[in-house]
């Protein structure tokens, strides 16, 4: 609802400070460092944004969003960079895994469902307002969707898997701006349910969970959230994926379908975990109430896009989930891969912003020149 760039800046900073306090709440050395790391990355990104907003004002004597039209290229680049970092997009979003890993599970649910979206929605708004930014967001969206899936596939920490999946799902949100709202809603609901469930598992290490059966009462919401985010019919996320693919460009459709298969592979990790009815669970009543509200909302909101329920689309969604589960059992479980986490280091997160400025300047400059 912000009407100008400065109001948006204030709103994002307030959200950032609130997130910092929530991450630091355990008041342990590790959580305090991760909270300060998040705050510094966030403030650096918003400094770029603020300089861009000042350049818009210098050009139009106004901070209105419409000032992006006709603003200098460097102004657009700096504003977009700040929002990319806040929204957790592409390599700029690699602050997410460690932040989620150290934050309490309810805080992770808020980070994934609310804080990240606070940076994404202004990006979508800018793309809808300024046609030249639409191709940029579509490219970054697809790249982000694939990057998050690749990293999540080789991860064994349950919370990091969910965090890297958030990076991928943010890519889906910005890849097709007209469908961003419904996809963001679906992702926020299901990811909150997953984080709350994972926070009550006996371990975060998936290799340990494979040897230690969890309570069936915990596996059921974990299973429901996993198939939901993979695009299973009956959940809002199925309609959101179908709606997104309907408005995607042809080349995007191919890449996003690959990302959808990757998502099914990622969440097959949770589906194959052993469980027992007689296993003990320390989950409290509040968890079941929250899960009932979140998963129930996913089912009820399914009526938003009933046009998705055609035979081919339903069969395709079920085939993707079933194929992902089968491929995981036959292939993925038998091999162990790792990817370097160097890009998540604090110095590389800050240095990466400088690289992104150059990349964005070249991309935005070339599109504005057309």
How far is CA 62 from each of CA 5, 52, 132, 155, rounded to the nearest angstrom? 9, 12, 21, 46
Domain boundaries, the chain: 5-369
pTM attached to this predicted model: 0.94
What is residue 344's DSSP assignment?
A: G
Query: At residue 175, what are phi and psi to the nearest 5 degrees?
Result: -65, -30
Instruction: Let me know if 338 is exposed, middle or buried by CB neighbors in 10 A (0-12, 13-18, 19+).
Output: exposed
Name the β-bridge partners of 64.
4
What lies within 8 Å, CB to CB, of 173 at 6+ separation is: 117, 120, 124, 141, 180, 183, 184, 187
Q: Give the tokens for residue 130.
A: 């300024």
Q: Give the tokens for residue 48.
A: 């770029």
Query: At residue 122, what are phi and psi to the nearest 5 degrees?
Result: -60, -35
pLDDT by residue, tens only, the chain of 370 residues = 788 999 999 999 999 999 999 999 988 889 999 999 999 999 999 999 999 999 999 999 999 998 998 889 999 999 999 999 999 999 988 999 999 888 999 999 999 988 999 999 999 999 888 888 899 999 999 999 999 999 999 999 999 999 999 999 999 999 999 999 999 999 999 999 999 999 999 999 999 999 999 999 999 999 999 999 999 999 999 999 999 999 999 999 999 999 999 999 999 999 999 999 888 877 888 889 999 999 999 999 988 888 999 999 999 999 999 998 898 888 877 777 788 888 888 888 988 888 888 888 888 877 766 6
The helix/strand/coil state of 276 is strand
């Amino acid at each position: 609802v912000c009407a100008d760039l400065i109001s948006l800046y204030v709103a994002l900073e307030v959200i950032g400070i609130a997130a910092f306090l929530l991450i630091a709440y355990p008041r342990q050395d590790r959580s305090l460092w991760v909270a300060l790391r998040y705050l510094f990355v966030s403030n650096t990104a918003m400094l770029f944004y603020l300089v861009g907003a000042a350049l818009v004002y210098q050009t139009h004597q106004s901070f209105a969003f419409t000032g992006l039209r006709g603003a200098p290229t460097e102004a657009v680049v700096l504003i977009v960079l700040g929002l990319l970092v806040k929204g957790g997009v592409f390599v700029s979003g690699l602050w997410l895994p460690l932040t989620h890993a150290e934050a309490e599970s309810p805080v992770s649910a808020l980070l994934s469902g609310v804080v990240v979206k606070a940076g994404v929605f202004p990006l979508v708004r800018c793309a809808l307002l300024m046609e030249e930014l639409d191709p940029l967001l579509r490219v970054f969206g697809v790249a982000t969707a694939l990057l998050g899936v690749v990293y999540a596939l080789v991860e064994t920490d349950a919370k990091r898997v969910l965090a890297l999946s958030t990076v991928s799902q943010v890519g889906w949100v910005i890849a097709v701006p007209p469908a961003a709202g419904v996809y963001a809603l679906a992702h926020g609901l299901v990811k909150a349910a997953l984080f709350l469930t994972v926070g009550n598992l006996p371990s975060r290490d998936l290799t340990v969970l494979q040897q230690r059966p969890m309570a069936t009462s915990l596996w059921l919401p974990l299973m429901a959230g996993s198939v939901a985010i993979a695009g299973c019919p009956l959940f809002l996320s199925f309609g959101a994926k179908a709606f997104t693919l309907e408005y995607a460009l042809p080349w995007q459709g191919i890449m996003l379908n690959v990302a959808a298969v990757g998502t099914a592979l990622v969440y097959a990790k949770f589906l194959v975990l052993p469980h027992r009815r007689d296993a003990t669970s320390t989950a409290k009543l509040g968890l079941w109430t929250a899960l009932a509200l979140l998963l129930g909302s996913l089912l009820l909101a399914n009526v938003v896009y009933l046009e998705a329920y055609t035979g081919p689309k339903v069969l395709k969604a079920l085939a993707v989930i079933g194929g992902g589960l089968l491929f995981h059992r036959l292939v993925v479980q038998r091999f162990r891969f790792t990817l370097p986490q160097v890009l998540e280091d604090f110095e590389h997160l800050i240095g990466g912003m400088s690289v992104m400025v150059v990349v964005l300047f070249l991309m935005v400059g070339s599109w504005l020149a057309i």
